[in-house]
A = this chain, B = another copy of it.
Amino acid sequence: MANTKTSTMSFYPNQDTFLIAVDCIIFGFKDNKISLLAQPRFLEPFKNGLSLLGGFVKENESVEQAASSVLSRLTGLENIYMEQVGMYGALERDPGDRVVSCAFYALIDIESQDEQLLEEHKAFWINIDRANELIFDHPRMVADAIKLLRQKAAIQAVGFNLLPEKFTLSQLQALYEAIYYQVFDIRNFRKKMLSMDFLEKLNEMDKSGSKKGAYYYRFRDEKVQNDQYPSRF
């Protein structure tokens, strides 16, 4: 506990202070699988262990800013949808030192991100089923993030952040099947998706996936859904 200091000249003297980290679960969608960015840890403890992308919060930035800057440093992307997963504050979560961490998840289009930057930071995509190889309590963070993502996807058009701007309904279905880890009936899926009016059909086809070709769709972002709860009584 070497770096748990005590505050002095302050409104709140004689209180302990802590290192605060942010850890980012950066989801992408590739080969019909949900993946996330990981990185070999570059210092002890667990040097070279598989780690989420993170960093320490600095004095002059908010916790959210710290998370965004991790994300943009690693992917080159700005203004990405991020959501707080929660705070992880167990005593021994980091055997190196007492560190309290705040986890965020982000959804990015895997294609629009900067390969170069990833390589510079030795970061790479791993499949979510490898999340339990991560160090510290990172596996738990990922599990919590997936839970939130599923909840969110059930009521909001969240998945569009993970796809390129133009996508086919088959891609969209594959994405939802990856998120929920289950298969959906193609007719029911399309019916439901089209009945919510998120989607705009384009006059353009993707001929890469089939001979016949599939129409591209695009997300109407005017149609951002409000929060809602499942109906009850």
Contact = CB atoms under 8 A, between A and B. Distances in A.
Interface of A: 1-5, 7-13, 15-20, 43-45, 56-64, 84, 86-87, 89-91, 96-100, 102, 147, 150-151, 154-155, 176, 180, 184-185, 188-189, 192, 227, 229-230, 232-233
Number of copies: 2
Given A2-B8, A230-B230, A18 B87 contact: no
7 tightest A-B CB contacts, nearest first: A63-B89, A3-B7, A11-B96, A3-B10, A17-B17, A184-B233, A5-B5
Contacts of A97: 7, 10-12
Contacts of A229: 150-151, 154
A100 B20 contact: yes
A155 B230 contact: yes
Contact of A154 (B87, B227, B232): B232
Contacts of A151: 151, 229
Contacts of A19: 7, 10, 12, 15-18
